């Protein structure tokens, strides 16, 4: 229920009266936090983002160990159930006929994020997942989504979709369905590592959107569609593609220092550096850098990226010593996604594919709490007044 506002009687019709909050819980009495920054809106056992110390834990397990010892299938199962199962395996599944029909109808110029959102929406209309969301629902939509995105990519390029190979991992199967060929094992492993580090990251904008929708007792498909919509925004999911463009613009490490100094002087944002939460080196970036270093085909491009990173951090330290600006995950995500051959406009929806596990884990957790998310707003408009009489201005 919204807060009540009482107003003093006005001396003349149409004259605003002074508004006064009623009761200690009135919205006007409570502090306002733009963007809900710093507000605790949920309790979660899914993941822990320790920005001060540069740690990221999934159900208590450090992200670096999960990348080193895990697979996306095991990590997804961990997020959904809280259990580490070495036998857990997640493979791509075929696109249901209603979803494939919808993808065939999309114009070639459709943004891949819109195509993915459409695929999940049609899946939801076809499957009609009930509330509360379940692990089985999470597994199904997470396994179907890569096949749907790959099918759209081929269709927009005039190619027929490829059936998934059940012997491949979810990440490897995605590459196979994009290209029509079995992927290089190193590429499949690199993309699997990216899926792991992108699977979960606290109460970010898209995850919060997902939890808000589930809190209304809506279904998992609706929640994931909302999350994809939030992730589509350039302030949330588009940075890796911009990192690629940025590095192409720099061209050579020899040009990096001049480029960085000029960008800072103009007040431009340098993509791949700085983070809303982390005040230390992003642990996801560290994990992906190790993966990128193991990709033989990326040697030249990665060498440039590493040298440019060193320059950016040094110049930031010199020009902005009062600010803690470190490398974030998008910087090396760009290296991995480009290294496995994805076009830049597939970077954001691939991020969404990886985040499916985290979104659905949060949806299941929010449903178990069964609490509608309904914050207040501080009213800053005019106080109560009478509608002007007819004929008055």
Which among 3, 2, 7 has a CA at the least distance from the CA of 386?
Answer: 7
Give the whole-angstrom CA distance, residue 193 versus residue 67: 6
Cβ-contact 162, 154 below 8 angstroms: yes
Q: Look up 275 and say whether it is catalytic.
A: yes
Whether 111 is a known active-site residue: answer no
Do 64 and 289 touch, CB atoms closer than 8 A?
no
DSSP secondary structure string for all residues of 25-45: T-GGGSPP-GGGTT------S
Going by C-beta distance under 8 Å and a sequence separation of 6 or more, which residues neighbour residue 53? 280
- CB burial class (10 A; 0-12, 13-18, 19+) of residue 151? buried
Q: Provide the 10 A C-beta neighbour count for residue 59.
A: 19
Residue that has been written with the tokens 């490490």 in this structure: 253
153, 201, 275, 362: which one is catalytic?
275
Give me the catalytic one of 153, 330, 362, 365: 330
Instruction: Return the active site residues.
Output: 275, 330
């Amino acid at each position: 229920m919204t807060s009540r506002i009482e107003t003093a009687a006005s001396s003349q019709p149409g004259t605003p009266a002074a508004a006064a909050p009623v009761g200690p819980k009135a919205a006007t009495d409570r502090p306002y936090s733009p963007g809900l920054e710093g507000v605790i809106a949920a309790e979660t056992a899914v993941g822990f983002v320790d920005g001060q110390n540069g740690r990221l834990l999934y159900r208590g397990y450090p992200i670096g160990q999960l990348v080193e010892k895990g697979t996306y299938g095991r990590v997804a199962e961990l997020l959904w159930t809280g259990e580490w199962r070495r036998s857990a395996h997640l493979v791509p599944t075929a696109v249901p006929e209603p979803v494939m029909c919808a993808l065939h109808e999309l114009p070639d110029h459709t943004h891949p994020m819109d195509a993915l959102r459409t695929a999940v929406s049609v899946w939801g209309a076809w499957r009609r997942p009930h509330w509360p969301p379940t692990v089985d629902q999470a597994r199904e939509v997470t396994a179907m989504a890569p096949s749907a995105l790959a099918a759209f990519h081929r269709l927009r390029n005039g190619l027929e979709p490829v059936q998934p190979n059940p012997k491949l991992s979810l990440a490897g199967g995605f590459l196979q369905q994009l290209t029509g060929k079995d992927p290089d094992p190193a590429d499949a492993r690199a993309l699997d590592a990216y899926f792991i580090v992108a699977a979960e990251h606290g109460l970010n904008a898209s995850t919060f959107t997902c939890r808000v929708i589930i809190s209304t007792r809506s279904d998992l498909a609706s929640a994931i569609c909302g999350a994809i919509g939030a992730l589509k925004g350039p302030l949330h999911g588009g940075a890796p593609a911009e990192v690629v463009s940025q590095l192409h613009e720099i061209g050579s490490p020899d040009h990096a220092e001049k480029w960085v100094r000029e960008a800072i002087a103009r007040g431009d944002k340098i993509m791949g550096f700085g983070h809303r939460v982390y005040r230390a080196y992003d642990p996801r970036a560290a994990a992906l850098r190790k993966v990128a270093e193991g990709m033989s085909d990326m040697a030249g491009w990665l060498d440039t990226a590493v040298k440019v990173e060193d320059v950016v951090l040094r110049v930031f330290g010199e020009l902005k010593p009062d600010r803690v600006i470190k490398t974030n995950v998008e910087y090396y995500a760009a290296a991995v996604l480009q290294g496995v051959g994805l076009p830049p406009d597939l970077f954001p929806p691939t991020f969404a594919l990886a985040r499916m596990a985290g979104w659905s884990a949060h949806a299941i957790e929010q449903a178990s709490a069964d609490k509608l998310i309904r914050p207040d707003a501080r009213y800053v408009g005019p106080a109560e007044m009478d509608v002007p009489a007819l004929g008055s201005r």
